[in-house]
Amino acid sequence: MPCLKIYTNISSYKIPRDFVDKIIPVLAKAVKKDNNKFICVTTGDCQMSFGGESSEPSVIATLESIGNLGPNENKEIVRELSKHLEKELKVKPHRFFLTFYDLLPYNVAKGGVTIEEIGA
């Protein structure tokens, strides 16, 4: 279950209500996994300084996934997410910071069991 966690200095009330619904298909296409496998959490109103500047819209995010991440895959993923964030939240690509975490199945759990146990 890939998980995208987004932290932004944009006010929560300015984040479109359907933002997470719209970003899931973008993620699914870029990460090459089904929509129903994704989790996305967005936290607005964060106090953050990005490059020493705190007033422009900014996003700091992490993407965790079991597989489908790597040098070539990450380039495509960050390109697609950057375009989407600029379109939906008006965050310029140079104000977007993304960290990738390629997880092992025994380090992820759902429903009280690890993904390794499920065999997914």
* Each residue's pLDDT tens digit, 47-62: 999 889 899 999 999 9
Domain 3-118 fold is: Macrophage Migration Inhibitory Factor (3.30.429)
pTM across the whole model: 0.94
- Name residue 10's amino acid: I
Q: Where are the domains of the chain?
A: 3-118
Tens of pLDDT, residue by residue over 67-115, are: 999 999 999 999 999 999 999 999 999 999 999 999 999 999 999 999 9
Q: How far is CA 97 from CA 5, 12, 17, 81, 85, in A?
A: 12, 19, 22, 11, 11
